[in-house]
Structure 1
Amino acid sequence: MSSIKCKQNGEHDFVFVGVAYLTKELDEFELAKTEARAVTGVLASHPNSTDVHISSLSLTFHGQELLADTSLELNSGRRYGLIGLNGTGKSMLLSAIGHREIPIPEHIDIYHLTREMAPSEKTALQCVMEVDEQRIMLEKEAERLAHEDSECEKLMELYERLEELDADKAEVRASRILHGLGFTAAMQQKKLKDFSGGWRMRVALARALFIKPFMLLLDEPTNHLDLDACVWLEEELSSFKRILVLISHSQDFLNGVCTNIIHLHQRKLKYYTVRTFEELEENQMKRFNWEQDQITHMKVHETPCGRTFSLHRINSSENLEFGIDLDTRVALVGPNGAGKSTLLKLLMGELLPTDGMIRKHSHVKIGRYHQHLTEQLELDLSPLEYMLKCFPDIKEKEEMRKIIGRYGLTGKQQVSPIRNLSDGQKCRVCFAWLASQNPHMLFLDEPTNHLDIETIDALGDAINEFDGGMMLVSHDFRLIQQVAQEIWVCENQTITKWKRDILAYKEHLKSKIEKQTHDI
């Protein structure tokens, strides 16, 4: 628990003291970001209202203005998708709300999911169900409101939430949420210290869904999920009844969950219903396609001839036999742990098969993108310095600037330390590095994490224009639909070809989830 003070400007000057309920104390990095951030704004809604309206909102970070004199409008019962280009300040805004640097009334509790649960001796189920702090807070707030206004709409909400946290119902509900996020009954009883960071992030997400705060803030919650869990989460969040603010770069996921879109553009917050925003996107896409039709593309790309890979029996239980070549455009789908990333590592030669063999063309050059590639960047170097170091044959800085600029990093971003870039901008450095290797085949393992929607669309276009082969692991249904010609399902220690498209596979997952829910 931490208290954060926020002084407002103008004739409504006052000091706002809020309470932020966090999964654990701010680490040194988060504290440094908080200290470098300045936020001003005025509460424009009634202090006891279930809606939150902030006027004259401005936000700066290290002196850079990210929001300027705009309005934040969050209404009860609405689910907002917060979108905008990488580096414009989406995560920064969410963090400022979560830390109550914006004057949000104390009776509106906030859960900002920022990190995985810390390793401990507690089981996953115990961690989700530990809500004593929230229950005490809700009881105190209900008592306060009952004295002020016994018919207040917020009071009814509090009573409803206290009932949801009732001990008699808690275990069943917590178990259902964990099951939906991929935890078997045995995994729910497993100690948290025995889980990887990705699975502990799922526990944190399950806890957020279990608590059902009045304001839930989620920053790219699908990053650690497989397609099955993404579909379940989409269904779960689509019925969230309070205030949800969601950053996601999966347009398919946003369309399935959100009622409204907040577009952070040119330091202002612009509001749309989902339908209106879809119509704007459709019109922009029509114009883009028309412009592309006017351009003639000619590309010369040297590639080795013939089949690039053939693979026979990874082990005696999967009994696989298949080949991939420069015409291959396949998406690997299936639950986490089924072996999708392992298969890519086998093809790369990072792992050896326990049985059978992998035959690879001697001259093929493979470019592999994976979720941890940004961790290999040298954070003290700028993107320009890093790329010049990686590719010493390119001597001229201006030539390298043009190369990096193609991936959306321009001007000051190219010469700033990589550590100061947003996660999405770091990913763009990785794509510039990957493309500069001129690979014949691309292995892409969750390439959309941290990318904005516009960049994901550009990635889809680039993949479609790429002359070589491509294998994709992604939880983004829209990207898969854009680029994959085949769908391979990796499940139950084997791989089978899905005979229909990815949207049919999504409907298949929905049906499976409904059946499992009914059985429970």
Structure 2
Amino acid sequence: MASYVDILKSEFPQIDSELFDYITGVLDSGGADFEDAEEVFEAVGGFLQEVSADAKNEDDIRDICLQMFNCLQLNNCHGRQQQVLLDAPVQLSQINAHATEIKDVQGIWMMKRPQNTTVDAKKLEKAEAKLKAKHERRNEKDSQKSSTPVVLEEASASQSSSKKEGRVDQSGKNRSYDIRIENFDVSFGERVLLQGADLSLSFGRRYGLIGRNGLGKTTLLKMLSSRSLRVPAHITILHVEQEVEGDHTKALDSVLQSDTVREELLSEERALNTRINSGTADGTESVRLSEIYAKLEEIEADKAPARASVILAGLGFTPRMQQQTTKEFSGGWRMRLALARALFARPDLLLLDEPTNMLDVRAILWLENYLQTWASTILVVSHDRNFLNAVVTDIVHLHTQRLDSYRGDYENFIKTKEDRLKNQQREYEAQLQYRQHIQVFIDRFRYNANRAAQVQSKLKLLEKLPELKPLEKETEVMLRFPDNFEKLSPPILQLDEVEFYYSLDQRLFTGLNLSADLDSRICIVGENGAGKTTVLKLLMGELTPINGVRQAHRNLKIGYFSQHHVDQLDLNVCSVELLANKFPGRPEEEYRHQLGRYGITGELATRPVASLSGGQKSRVAFAQMTMPCPNFYILDEPTNHLDMETIEALAKALNKFKGGVVLVSHDERLIRLVCRELWVCESGRVGRVDGGFDEYKHILHEQFRKEGYL
């Protein structure tokens, strides 16, 4: 088949060489971008009509453009685009350096034409500009398609406040450490999270902030810590949300540095002593030094290292770890370090967001005991029911864009809430019945002249009645793990005398024995770093034992939930696309139905995964994990970020599931509801605890007493 060059020479033998070079340059550079023959005609058709010796009409020119377009397509398909071998490499840096001198360069192949050409120069420049603009639009469009960044919505807050409050706060006369924020709104993008809400925090009390996933608990903490909601300026706030930055600072020193008052006093003391010892003092240094020593004694600065060490030890840092630099720790341990810094600094308002997510059972029990004697105010978001019962004195319930406060722990909240809802329902039904009774009277005597005054009185009475709305019941969370598979005969999954280590000087396990079948409900507990996740990976076959044997049924199909599940999700797509990419070829309704099983419905399913809350991302991960219908689940910290209702639903779903379950968890509620066996991972072994979770807690409390933490 003839090339477009042959077609040009054949159809237009008298074509100007300048124009010939121009047209072939256009077709060479833009050949892959032309979508149809019409675009070829728009680019070069006008010039071809001008130079046509036999005065071809427009239809003839279009036919020629179609022939050239077909040639271009054929070349593109077979990868035989015309190439030019250069005599020497082009030094683009030199071209760029001399760009100001080369005035005539407008592009790699677009150049100004000499004035003696037979082509209309203005028309040529217009065509070049049009083609260049088209290339820019297409490149911009392609760039957007290939890497469209996810633009996350931002949170905002607004509140009503009086000028008097502002003046008192600015004057420094307000010395109260109670916090009261009235009539405020919080939004996330276009979604209203709180509207006309009130929040009261009395100094010295410990508040648990609870509510369903995605309603705005974390956003509210951020609005408080950033002071987007007005908190008196003299109240210090510390929000534990980001891990400590890794550097050469030792863990213990990092905690000590969080007490800025102590650090400033010690720094000033060193500077004054230097001046006194060097003989440059003017006499006032001694007086100031005495004041500093008095303040250091007042804040018990000499006891600070011991107090910091106790906090670190309670959170799992051994004496050796306390001397390690912060850059040596993983993200999880740096988050513990951030928590330790906050506990040591003792702010007036401590904001904690899911603090138990980063902790093992031992550290959680220590933190519960430590916070029970906390002197200032705490506002904590937590899904751990037992943690809330042990720590908080009040509950703040976020629902239906408002905040309701309850005195007492979580169990008391459940009881009080049920009683309050029953009373509201009775009040609503009684008023509804009373309204209906009055309405019957009005309807009966509406047209009776003798009763007109009474009807008017009844109408006014109806208008004055407060309008009560029916209770909005929260939808029940439902999770379901499909179990349409055949029963497998034992043995299903077991480890026999397994030995494993990552390096010869880091032997994790020796003589590891563990067996599970389709009836198993096993929970593995232990301190962070003891090897719990390694045990799970040995069970799954992701790690190969150094010695010993892993045996698995040939029809075993494992579903794995990682504690870092968010890292495994594509945050740039919506949940429906996520499943479609992972399991292609199914109708969209099937993906939506699968997500719906885990509470990701309607608009949630079409929002970018990056914009979902932590709990909603966990539900998407559950939907992805269960879609292939495994007959055995291995779950590593599945409750992280889930609200309490979803944890209850997860427990019910696991109990109904007909396959086997092995999980690592620190959530006491889930362990008690689901697990029939408790195994402790420590000192290179995994051993069963016959007394279950109660016996395990008793063992830990005894350890705390011996170590002096209780």
TM range (shorter): 0.7 to 0.9
Residue number in structure 2 paired with 1:367: 559
Alignment check: 8 A CA contact 1:333 1:490 kept? yes
Answering whether residue 686 of structure 2 is matched by residue 502 of structure 1, we say no
Name the SS for the 1:313 alignment partner. strand
AA aligned opposite 1:37: S
Specify whether residues 162 and 261 from structure 1 end up closer, same or farther in structure 2 by C-alpha distance, changes over 3 A only: farther
Q: Distance in 2 between matches of 1:372 and 1:440?
A: 22
Match of 1:222 among 356, 381, 389: 356
Deviations along 1:446-467, one digit per CA (max 9) or x if unpaired, are: 0011111111111111110111
Alignment check: 8 A CA contact 2:314 2:709 kept? no
Specify whether residues 209 and 455 from structure 1 end up closer, same or farther in structure 2 by C-alpha distance, changes over 3 A only: same
Q: Which runs of 4+ in 1 moved over 4 A?
A: 32-36, 43-46, 134-139, 160-165, 280-284, 297-300
- Could you tell me how far 1:429 is from its partner in structure 2? 0.3
Q: Distance in 2 between matches of 1:449 and 1:352?
A: 28
Residue number in structure 2 paired with 1:245: 379
Specify whether residues 71 and 204 from structure 1 end up closer, same or farther in structure 2 by C-alpha distance, changes over 3 A only: same
Q: Distance in 2 between matches of 1:507 and 1:372?
A: 30
Residue number in structure 2 paired with 1:307: 491
Q: Distance in 2 between matches of 1:280 and 1:326?
A: 40
Residue number in structure 1 paired with 2:519: 327
Residue number in structure 2 paired with 1:92: 219
Match of 2:316 among 172, 177, 182: 182
Alignment check: 8 A CA contact 1:41 1:58 kept? no
- Could you tell me how far 1:371 is from its partner in structure 2? 1.3
- Could you tell me how far 1:353 is from its partner in structure 2? 1.1
Q: Distance in 1 between matches of 2:419 and 2:631?
A: 35
- Could you tell me how far 1:136 is from its partner in structure 2? 7.9
Residue number in structure 2 paired with 1:103: 230
Q: Distance in 1 between matches of 2:157 and 2:310?
A: 40
Alignment check: 8 A CA contact 1:116 1:201 kept? yes
- Could you tell me how far 1:373 is from its partner in structure 2? 1.5
Match of 2:603 among 391, 404, 412: 412
Residue number in structure 2 paired with 1:3: none
Residue number in structure 2 paired with 1:458: 649
Q: Distance in 2 between matches of 1:169 and 1:454?
A: 43
Q: Distance in 1 between matches of 2:545 and 2:490?
A: 23
Answering whether residue 195 of structure 2 is matched by residue 73 of structure 1, we say no
Structure 2 residues not aligned, in runs of 5+ = 1-150, 267-293, 421-475, 501-508
Match of 1:482 among 649, 665, 673: 673
Segment drifting more, 274-283 vs 506-515: 274-283
Q: Distance in 2 between matches of 1:282 and 1:254?
A: 18
Name the SS for the 2:244 alignment partner. coil
Residue number in structure 2 paired with 1:125: 252
Deviations along 1:213-265, one digit per CA (max 9) or x if unpaired, are: 11000001111111100110111112212110001111111111101111100
Alignment check: 8 A CA contact 1:98 1:112 kept? yes
Name the SS for the 1:319 alignment partner. strand
Alignment check: 8 A CA contact 2:154 2:188 kept? no
| Higher helix proportion (structure 1 or 2) | 2
Alignment check: 8 A CA contact 2:152 2:611 kept? no
Match of 2:591 among 396, 400, 410: 400
Q: Distance in 2 between matches of 1:167 and 1:33?
A: 44
AA aligned opposite 1:257: V
Match of 1:277 among 408, 413, 416: 413
Alignment check: 8 A CA contact 2:482 2:626 kept? no
Q: Distance in 2 between matches of 1:37 and 1:132?
A: 30
Specify whether residues 163 and 413 from structure 1 end up closer, same or farther in structure 2 by C-alpha distance, changes over 3 A only: farther
Residue number in structure 1 paired with 2:6: none
AA aligned opposite 2:156: R
Q: Distance in 1 between matches of 2:485 and 2:551?
A: 23
Q: Distance in 2 between matches of 1:192 and 1:116?
A: 10
- Could you tell me how far 1:166 is from its partner in structure 2? 3.5
Name the SS for the 1:80 alignment partner. strand
Deviations along 1:280-331, one digit per CA (max 9) or x if unpaired, are: 57889xxxxxxx9xxxx99753243222112112218631233211111111
Q: Distance in 1 between matches of 2:554 and 2:382?
A: 40
- Could you tell me how far 1:36 is from its partner in structure 2? 4.2
AA aligned opposite 1:314: V
Alignment check: 8 A CA contact 1:318 1:495 kept? no
| RMSD between superposed Cα atoms in Å | 2.6
Deviations along 1:155-189, one digit per CA (max 9) or x if unpaired, are: xxxxx997685320110000000000011111100
Q: Distance in 2 between matches of 1:131 and 1:113?
A: 12
Name the SS for the 1:239 alignment partner. coil
Answering whether residue 135 of structure 2 is matched by residue 37 of structure 1, we say no
Within 5 Å, give how 1:130-141 maps onto structure 2: 130-131=257-258, 133-135=260-262
Residue number in structure 1 paired with 2:630: 439
Residue number in structure 2 paired with 1:427: 618
Q: Distance in 2 between matches of 1:227 and 1:133?
A: 31
Name the SS for the 1:427 alignment partner. helix
- Could you tell me how far 1:106 is from its partner in structure 2? 1.2
Specify whether residues 80 and 36 from structure 1 end up closer, same or farther in structure 2 by C-alpha distance, changes over 3 A only: closer
- Could you tell me how far 1:392 is from its partner in structure 2? 2.3
Deviations along 1:41-72, one digit per CA (max 9) or x if unpaired, are: 43879832111011011111112110000101
| Higher strand proportion (structure 1 or 2) | 1
Alignment check: 8 A CA contact 2:258 2:344 kept? no
Q: Distance in 1 between matches of 2:482 and 2:627?
A: 18
Answering whether residue 708 of structure 2 is matched by residue 517 of structure 1, we say yes
Q: Distance in 2 between matches of 1:259 and 1:490?
A: 34
Residue number in structure 2 paired with 1:288: none
Q: Distance in 1 between matches of 2:305 and 2:262?
A: 15
Name the SS for the 2:242 alignment partner. coil
Q: Distance in 2 between matches of 1:420 and 1:411?
A: 15
Alignment check: 8 A CA contact 2:482 2:629 kept? no
- Could you tell me how far 1:279 is from its partner in structure 2? 1.7
Residue number in structure 2 paired with 1:210: 344
- Could you tell me how far 1:84 is from its partner in structure 2? 0.5
Structure 1 residues not aligned, in runs of 5+ = 1-31, 140-159, 285-291
Name the SS for the 2:680 alignment partner. strand
AA aligned opposite 2:677: E
The count of residues paired between Structure 1 and Structure 2 equals 456
Residue number in structure 2 paired with 1:198: 332
| Greater relative contact order structure (CA < 8 Å, 6+ sep) | 1
Q: Distance in 2 between matches of 1:188 and 1:117?
A: 14
Q: Distance in 1 between matches of 2:618 and 2:261?
A: 37
| Identity %, equivalent residues | 44
Residue number in structure 2 paired with 1:151: none
Residue number in structure 1 paired with 2:285: none
Deviations along 1:91-123, one digit per CA (max 9) or x if unpaired, are: 000000011111111111000001110001010
Alignment check: 8 A CA contact 1:314 1:355 kept? yes
Q: Distance in 2 between matches of 1:186 and 1:97?
A: 36
Specify whether residues 58 and 171 from structure 1 end up closer, same or farther in structure 2 by C-alpha distance, changes over 3 A only: same
Residue number in structure 2 paired with 1:261: 395
Q: Distance in 2 between matches of 1:105 and 1:298?
A: 52
Alignment check: 8 A CA contact 2:204 2:375 kept? yes
Q: Distance in 2 between matches of 1:378 and 1:180?
A: 36
- Could you tell me how far 1:434 is from its partner in structure 2? 1.0
Specify whether residues 164 and 118 from structure 1 end up closer, same or farther in structure 2 by C-alpha distance, changes over 3 A only: farther
Alignment check: 8 A CA contact 1:314 1:357 kept? yes
Alignment check: 8 A CA contact 2:525 2:532 kept? yes
Alignment check: 8 A CA contact 1:165 1:211 kept? no
Rg: which structure is higher?
A: 2
Residue number in structure 1 paired with 2:113: none
Alignment check: 8 A CA contact 1:308 1:361 kept? yes
Match of 2:542 among 350, 360, 382: 350
Alignment check: 8 A CA contact 1:41 1:102 kept? no
Residue number in structure 2 paired with 1:147: none
